[in-house]
Amino acid sequence: MKKLLMSLLAVLMVCGLMMPVSAEGEKFEVTRNGGDTETVSDLLAYFANEVQSGDEVTVKFLDDYSSGGFEIKAQNKTGLKVEIDLNGFEWVFNDPAVGSSGYETQGIHIEKGNTFKFKNGTLKVSDNATGIKMFIQNYCNLTLENVDVVCNIPGGYAISNNNGELNLLGDSSITNENGYAFDVYYWPESYVDGVKVRINTTGTIKGNIAVTASPGTPAGVFKSELTIDNVNFDGKFVQVVEDAKKNVTINSGSFKEDVTEYVPEGKASVAVDGTYYVGDADTVAEKAKSATTSVEVLKGLEVVNVPEGVKVTNSTGSPISVNGETVEAGAVITVPVKEESAPSISCAGEKDKNCDGVITCDEEKGEGWTWNNAKGVCEYTCTTSNTYTVVNTAVK
């Protein structure tokens, strides 16, 4: 029997029917400069020892990974083009933190002149990390696609952008509820080209946004940009310097506060039951149709249809049409509830319909059939010593 089992095992291995198993500790598949794919166990060590300036590197996670901070400094490596496919796994960051000399407080630090893309997974700060006060310090061209960035840094930043680009795409989310989701920080003393942040995600951002500049920024100069093409934003714009406002554009999304000042011409803005929506006029108008208590029309809508009993405020500065009625600029109305008039239905001759054996009093003493508008039925009331009401549900 033992020989038979060994023979079957050998046949399975030869035929390739046994599933391959990665060697213990091999967590990544890595390809560099189009060469052969290799498996490695320590990604930080690989980037420190193997990757050189100008390399093109692709990484695919094979498991969850925990590490200290990850950094790419320009004096050591530049011109990198890196794509890291998290492949549905988590990269969890713990101490020690990384960063510029004297500012080692970050989980990820990537400097100018490099291009990085993370996709399909989670970047997370460990609950046990005490040295990470800023999760991602970005000076490079950074893309996050279908990535959840998760941290809890009260008063701190999930992502701080000082140069290059940040593109948040796909179904990406940022969670730092007690701090900032990200900033757009213009620092002309060190990075004169500024920074561009583009948000186009179906995911949710939890945390605040700041668009600011260094104290030495000349008046009237602000080169950095923030463009929001779509997002569910569960936070606030807590800091937007005056020079920056012209460089903030919101084309679509849902928000907790009024962001109309950043909405360009051709787009619409409306508040429905306390949530603010921005987008194309038709899309935003559809949101108003679902209101239960209030609608405030802020920009870009001329015609609005809302349910009965809903309060409508016209803050557009021009007259609008609400359910076919003109509402002047600044006016507040409540859409009236229409009262249905009783239908013209005769109850005559209906007393015997579906009522056989039910009326137990003298029909000759009855008041006859009458229409009950509230119930939508005809009723027959007898007037003997006992009063009976018989409902004819067939008549509507």
- Report DSSP letters for 310-377, one per residue: -EEEE-SSS-EEETTEEE-TT-EEEPPPPPPPPP----TT-TTTT-TTT--S-GGGS--EEEETTTTE
Q: Average of pLDDT values for 201-219?
A: 93
Please report the pLDDT score of residue 19 as a whole number: 33
- Helical (H) or strand (E) element with 84: strand 81-85
Please report, for the chain, the start and end positions of each structural domain, with discontinuous segments joined by +. 22-264, 265-338, 345-396
Say yes or no to pLDDT of 21 above 70: no
Higher pLDDT, 376 or 205: 205
| Least confident window among 6-20, 165-179, 232-246 | 6-20
Per-residue pLDDT averaged across 44-69, rounded? 97
CA 141 – CA 208 distance, rounded (Å): 22
pLDDT of residue 368: 57
In the prediction, which pLDDT does 119 show? 98
**Neighbouring residues of 38: CB distance < 8 A, sequence distance ≥ 6:** 29, 30, 31
pTM: 0.80
Q: What is the mean pLDDT of residues 273-299?
A: 96
Q: Which residue has the tokens 């996050």?
A: 144
Residue percentage of the chain with pLDDT more than 70:
79
What's the burial of 134, exposed, middle or buried (CB within 10 Å: 0-12/13-18/19+)?
Answer: buried
- Amino acid identity, position 338: K
User: What mean pLDDT value characterizes the chain?
Assistant: 85
Q: Which of 99, 186, 169 is nearest to 136 (CA)?
A: 99
Once rounded to an integer, what is the mean pLDDT over residues 96-124? 97
Q: Cα 310 from chain centroid?
A: 27
Minimum mean pLDDT among 20-24, 128-132, 139-143, 217-221: which range?
Answer: 20-24
Give the mean pLDDT of 88-108. 96
Task: Tell me which amino acid residue 226 is.
Answer: L
Task: Decide if 102 contacts 66 (C-beta within 8 A).
Answer: no
Q: Which residue, 261, 197, 265, is CA-closest to 231?
A: 197
The token pair at 105 is: 């407080």
- CB within 8 A of 75, min separation 6: which ones? none
Q: Pick from 132, 156, 140: which is nearest to 72 by CA? A: 140
Q: How far apart are CA 80 and CA 57, in angstroms?
A: 8
> Does the pLDDT of residue 362 top 50, yes or no?
no
